[in-house]
Amino acid sequence: MRYIRPLSIEDAVGLLAGASGTSAILAGGSDLLVRMKGGFVEPDLIVDIKAIEGLSEIRETADGFSIGATVPCAVLGESSVLKKAWPGVVEAAKLIGSKQVQGRCTITGNLCNASPAADSVPALVAAGAKAVVAGPSGRRTIPVGAVPIGPGKTSLTKGEIIEAILLDSQAPRSGDAYLRFIPRTEMDIAVVSAGVNLTLDEHGVITAARVALGAAAPTVLLVEEAAEALIGRKLDEAALERLAKVCAGACRPIDDKRGTIEFRRKVAGVLARRATTTAYARAGGK
């Protein structure tokens, strides 16, 4: 096994592109090191990207925010400007792991681990976040939702690295929220989760909506019909009932020891309803 700590994104890409055998990227290591210790993976090459300049920074840009690939979730939680703009995204990031893990884990790693139950991904999809991908052919920017293609699988090709996550500036009168259900009060994986992002007009009518469900299918579901149930109206009981019904119907969950298909569908509707109510209030709705 080789461990290399490059100082530039170009060197990291070159190492991964030219590697023979299996390779892995080390950002926080909260997934990789556990999998290595459990014997699930033994990379021939580990590329540690933490020393690359700029990857550990949250930058406020003219268009919004750029979150470097190695920014720990604990740092996201300490960013007052990010919390003000995107409280739902920060809420989701702060649910990953324990206090100790928070100092290491990253939303980029959470995304690339490609777990259907990942906490940060539904919130990022609801927020319309994008990923900046660096690779042998240069850079490209893709929707966050296009990265996971199945449990444990991503659309990234050999030599590609996610360099940053981009969040647009929130439009006026907008708000987002994230909720999950777990059997315990802390330190567990989502049985179902929901991320919601809303924009209102000056009268409190919803003009834009994105509703994303996690742990409800092999990848995060962006439920367009749920958005349609909300747009063009204020948030009333009829809209919430329609939203819950649509979200429950959109789920494609599995039966396992943590929850049945029927239970997950029911909870998906409940969480979508609650997260939407929170996002609406944050957007200034009454």
Instruction: Tell me the pLDDT tens digit for each residue of 22-35.
Output: 999 999 999 999 99
Residues 6+ apart with CB under 8 A from 39: none
Judge if 148 and 197 occupy the same domain.
no
User: In CATH, what number is assigned to the domain containing residue 250?
Assistant: 3.30.390.50
Residue 255: the pLDDT is 84
The CATH number of whichever domain residue 141 belongs to comes to 3.30.465.10
If asked whether residues 60 and 91 sit together in one domain, one would say yes
Question: Which one, of 249, 240, 248, 245, lies nearest residue 273 by Cα?
Answer: 240
Residues 144 and 223 in one domain: no
Query: Residue 204: inside a domain, yes or no?
Result: yes
Residues 157 and 79 in one domain: yes
**Taking 80 as the threshold, does the pLDDT of residue 186 lie above it?**
no
Q: How far is CA 43 from CA 22, 207, 267, in A?
A: 5, 48, 38
Long-range contacts of 51-54 (CB under 8 A, 24+ apart): 51/5, 51/6, 51/7, 52/6, 52/7, 52/8, 52/9, 52/12, 53/7, 53/8
Residues 137 and 228 placed together within one structural domain of the fold: no
Same domain, 164 and 60: yes
Is residue 198 assigned to a domain? yes
* Assigned domain for 89 exists: yes
Last residue of a domain, one of 115, 137, 168: 168
Q: Which domain holds residue 224?
A: 191-282
Pairing of strands 206-214, 148-150: unpaired
Tell me, what's the pLDDT at 109?
96
CA pair distance 237, 131, nearest whole angstrom: 36
- For residue 45, being part of any structural domain is answered with no
**Residues 65 and 162 occupy one common structural domain:** yes
CA–CA dist 244, 140 (Å, integer): 36
Q: Evaluate whether residue 51 is within a structural domain.
A: no
Lowest-pLDDT range of 21-25, 255-259, 261-265: 255-259
Number of domains present in the structure of the chain? 2
d(CA 11, CA 14): 5
Question: In terms of domains, do 219 and 140 share one?
Answer: no
Q: Do residues 132 and 221 share a domain?
A: no
Q: What is the mean pLDDT of residues 193-206?
A: 97
Residues 60 and 161 in one domain: yes
Tell me the pairing of strands 161-168 and 64-68.
antiparallel
Q: Is residue 100 part of a domain?
A: yes
Confidence category of residue 254, pLDDT binned at 50, 70, 90: confident
Strand partners, 207: none
* For range 6-32, the mean pLDDT: 95
Q: What angle do CA 233, 238, 241 make, to 5 degrees?
A: 120
Q: What is the mean pLDDT of the chain?
A: 95
The answer to whether residues 135 and 222 belong to one domain is no
Establish if 2 belongs to a structural domain: no
Q: Is residue 209 part of a domain?
A: yes
Last residue within a domain, chosen from 109, 134, 168: 168
**Does the pLDDT of residue 97 top 90, yes or no?**
no
Convert the pLDDT of each residue in 233-249 to its tens digit: 999 999 999 999 999 99
DSSP the chain: -EEE--SSHHHHHHHHHH--S-EEEESS-TTHHHHHHTTS---SEEEE-TTSTTTT-EEE-SSEEEEETT-BHHHHHH-HHHHHH-HHHHHHHTTSS-HHHHTT-BHHHHHHTT-TT-SHHHHHHHTT-EEEEEETTEEEEEEGGGSEEETTEES--TT-EEEEEEEEPPPTTEEEEEEEE-SSSSS---SEEEEEEEEE-TTS-EEEEEEEEESSSSS-EE-HHHHHHHTTS---HHHHHHHHHHHHHH-----BTTB-HHHHHHHHHHHHHHHHHHHHHHTT--
- pLDDT tens by residue, 203-237: 999 999 999 999 999 999 999 999 999 999 999 99
Query: What pLDDT is attached to residue 7?
Result: 97
Phi then psi for 132, rounded to 5 degrees? Answer: -90, 115
Q: Are residues 101 and 140 in the same domain?
A: yes
Domain end call among 127, 153, 168 = 168
